[in-house]
Amino acid sequence: MQTLTQKHQKRRDTILPWQVSNCKMTMLSVSSAPRVLSLFPLALASLLVVGTVRLLLENCSDSENVISHSSAIEPPPFLSTSFLSNWSQCNIYDGKWVLDNASRPLYKEEDCPYLANQVTCQKNRRPDSLYQNWRWEPNGCTLPRFDARKLLELLRNKRLMFTGDSIQRSQFQSMVCLLQSVIPDGKKSIYREPGMKIFKAEDFNATVVFYWAPFIVESNSDHAVKHTVRKRLVKLDSIEKHSQHYKGVDVLVFESYVWWMYSALINATNGPPYNVKEYKVSTAYELALRTWANWIDTNINPQTQKVFFTSSSPTHLWSWQWRPGSDENCFNETYPIKEGSGSYWRSELSIDIMKTLTDVLHEMKIKVNLLNITQLSEYRKDGHTSVYTERRGKLLTSEERSNPKTTADCIHWCLPGVPDTWNEILYAHLLYGIN
């Protein structure tokens, strides 16, 4: 494991005290083991009631353009084996970003009242907006067009919960923005409960929740607002405080990465609370994930609940990673990285984290779908909030903005933006059960 240079250490402390990355370029091709298509997705299974099915399928086949079936007596397109094998053969994470001014962004920043000032980059005077207009296009298949009504129908009488840190909170905000435009005023609401933000679509009795749990397991950072960033202490074997909120939730989406990345070591307990030890982050992450996996395996009912895990959201803290010789960050980046697919510009630590995550998921009894968004988001050096954001409740001052090297936030994403794509992929999973 590499140590950080003084300079980077210093810079990091000023920018984002909890972020770390090993300053070394590593290329890795992860061999993709094609995962066998699972059972019908829960959401679909619940719709398999004669009558409603046909209508819905017709709507799907119209809008998808994936296959054209002319005969009316053929099986509905996405239930046919050819459709399923087509999706199972298609790696939706292998693809490219294409500029699509016509269909992107999926919603307008000013039209969504639920966005936090942290992510409203246009309102915060970001001069360029092309970052909103990119659409992820997998090689070999098409992502279904996001249809808010259809998703609300899938979520009727159900709860969808995002749980994790501030990155996950932006995925939640993105989802709420994607859904809310089709719901009239007075039929939607958002409110807080301790550790939670809850969005409700009244006519559908559909609930979308964000629950703060930055380490997945319990920690001294569990208060959504008043949490320590520097003196973090993680309880690797405790999850009950959080998991009580997961019981009976229909769709659970987990995420936890960036809070682990403060340094190569982390203080944690794994047993008695007085027995605090420094753990290697990769070891601690694995222990925490196993605590989580064990809870999921013993408490989740795969017939009625569906579980996802969002892979690590990449950061763009060092411009030399995509522009060799430079010494800046994501500030002023207005275009995605143009590269072929298949390589990671990740630090060794984050590769460890990714490998740990996939290993643990493979060993689980319950199938957890990986939302493998790391690589596709990696191209989006242009998507971060940079200096067009607020910190500790205040917009950056012009003085702070003039010093992007120390103030730019290259971890969080503007909305509309990259997390919308994560939700389009989640939507595809819920609609088709793709892998």
Kindly identify the residues of this chain, within the stretch 202-261, that bind ligand NAG according to CB under 6 A. 205, 207
DSSP string, 63-84: HH-S-----TTSPPGGGSHHHH
User: Is 350 a binder of ligand NAG (CB under 6 A)?
Assistant: no
- The CA distance from 177 to 113, in Å, is 8
Is 409 designated active site? yes
Neighbouring residues of 203: CB distance < 8 A, sequence distance ≥ 6: 183, 187
Count residues contacting ligand NAG (CB under 6 A)?
Answer: 37
CB of 286 to ligand NAG, least distance (A): 16
- The CA distance from 389 to 234, in Å, is 29
CB of 278 to ligand NAG, least distance (A): 5
- The CA distance from 157 to 179, in Å, is 15
> Site map for ligand NAG, 149-178, x if CB under 6 A?
-x------xxx-------------------
Taking CA atoms, 431 is separated from 42, 142, 304, 395, in Å, by: 9, 13, 15, 39
Kindly identify the residues of this chain, within the stretch 358-377, that bind ligand NAG according to CB under 6 A. 358, 370, 372, 375
HSE at residue 407, side-chain half, CA atoms within 13 A, is: 18
> Site map for ligand NAG, 323-342, x if CB under 6 A?
---------x--------xx
Among residues 16, 42, 44, 90, which is the contact residue for ligand NAG, using CB under 6 A? 90
> Site map for ligand NAG, 285-324, x if CB under 6 A?
----------------------------------------
Residue 392 — left, alpha, or beta (φ > 0 → left; ψ -120 to 50 → alpha)? left
Task: For strands 394-395 and 390-391, give the pairing.
Answer: antiparallel
Beta bridge partners, 164, equal 212
Beta-carbon count within 10 A of 328 CB: 17
Among residues 22, 91, 124, 305, which is the contact residue for ligand NAG, using CB under 6 A? 91
CB of 224 to ligand NAG, least distance (A): 21
Kindly identify the residues of this chain, within the stretch 43-82, that bind ligand NAG according to CB under 6 A. 55-56, 59, 67
Burial category of 362 from C-beta neighbours within 10 Å (exposed 0-12, middle 13-18, buried 19 and up):
exposed
Among residues 89, 103, 181, 228, which is the contact residue for ligand NAG, using CB under 6 A? 89
User: Is 140 a binder of ligand NAG (CB under 6 A)?
Assistant: yes
Burial category of 146 from C-beta neighbours within 10 Å (exposed 0-12, middle 13-18, buried 19 and up):
buried
Is 384 designated active site? no
Binding site for ligand NAG (CB under 6 A): 30, 32, 55-56, 59, 67, 86, 89-91, 93-94, 99, 101, 130, 133, 140-141, 150, 157-159, 205, 207, 263, 265-267, 278, 332, 341-342, 358, 370, 372, 375, 404
